[in-house]
Amino acid sequence: MPQIAPLEIEPIDACRYRIPPQGRMNVPGIVFADERLMAGIREDQALRQVANVACLPGIVHASLAMPDIHWGYGFPIGGVAAFDLDRGVISPGGVGYDINCGVRLLRSRVSAAEAEGRLRDLVEALFRNIPTGVGSHRKDLRLGAKDEERLLAQGAAWAIGHGLGEAADLLHIEEGGRLEGAVPAYVSERAKERGRTQLGTLGSGNHFVEVQRVAAIYDEAAARALGLEADALTVSIHTGSRGLGYQVCDDFLQVMLKASRAHGIDLPDPQLCCAPIGSEEGRRYLGAMYAAANFAFGNRQVITHWVRQSFQEVFSKGPRDLGLEVVYDVCHNIAKIETHRVGGRERRLCVHRKGATRAFPPGHPQTPAAYREVGQPVLIPGDMGRYSYVLVGTARAYEESFGSTCHGAGRRLSRTAARKAARGRPIARELEARGIFVRADGYATLAEEVPEAYKDVAEVVDVVARAGISRKVARLVPVGVIKG
């Protein structure tokens, strides 16, 4: 980062801070955080990144940050920014390397009491059926070139068409599990090569499949609409576009560095390299990024199929009795063209959400019909030792944050610091003593993902709820986890 004057930051209220326009900023920065969370946020360069994003051409209203914000590549993780289609830009740094990393939540008819004594077997079945770790793949699912092209264009529907899911699943996925405008031809051969063996795999890092118990319900009406019942088991699937998406980002960072110079864009940070949305470079990135996003939708769909298979193996029940149905599937890393009201009028904007979740309000036409009265479901994973949350979107989020909210707990410790803190600890046994069975590809993953590596997601959720940009529906506690 360039050495420049310290940022001026001022509180707005108990849940918001403002970075007034200073230096080259075109708009202010708005950070959703309380005093406690803000103390931690100030410790890294994430706030400087919020200010840098505010310098980009065509940005509208403000550079936004959610309470789970932390330092990332270009944009902060937890950053939201919307750009005018005529004057604005699109930036791979505003989406991230793991394109359409997201979360899918499944509900079930299996109660926690019924699962008692079988959870270890269930975790073992999930770990056996769902490949985890760096470079993981299943030998019985390798895409040919033509099938991969169709997957990149069709998303989750491709998997369902191959018997890996149910048509009803598509009703409860953001964008129906397929982003229109995907152009597989814009995805490099290297990216496609990396993706061919990785469909239906979890990957590494903070990705997981987690079996949970519905521990608390805060909004009975919304919970009923989402099909969530107290003490029932749920399953969260957190993963993205794997090596294919990573390669798409890597490829286009090189393209955008050249494009920034060619279009005369003065960058506050080279990691914010970008191109005008309507330029050739911008259109090519959108087409490739949407294709990678469709790969991620397909990836979570295939994993859903194998979750269902694992439950059938362990509980010896058919699909109808298990009731493993999709509650919702949300993107965390994406840029999409959306309509929002700014300054009293409707505008088409390119909204970047990097480590942030769409949170559309009740009545919005893009909220699934089953949830139209309560708002779009918002899925907020915590850490493998505490809890996660289900929220719904609000009208205030649509007015104030481009229909966006937080996406998780947010890291508190770097991976290196987490490994140091966990050195020599029997992490799996620690979690089992708390009633959580865990399997991972290796000890290093568990060490990097110890619960204390993350902020307390309850504090993050409390801020967005008090700020009015989400509403709490339920709390889920982990009982079994597989990690990459």
Active site residues: 407
Residue 263, both tokens: 């279009």
Residue 118, both tokens: 């079988």
Classify residue 448 as left (phi > 0), alpha (psi -120 to 50) or beta.
Answer: alpha
Residue 141, both tokens: 């699912």
CB 347 within 8 A of CB 340: yes
Phi, psi (deg, nearest 5) at residue 152: -65, -25
CB 226 within 8 A of CB 473: yes
Residue 266: how many other CB atoms lie within 10 Å? 10
Task: Report DSSP letters for 275-325, one per residue.
Answer: EETTSHHHHHHHHHHHHHHHHHHHHHHHHHHHHHHHHHHHH---HHHHT-E
Phi, psi (deg, nearest 5) at residue 325: -115, 150
Helix (H) or strand (E) holding 164: none
Q: What angle do CA 178, 377, 296 make, to 5 degrees?
A: 30
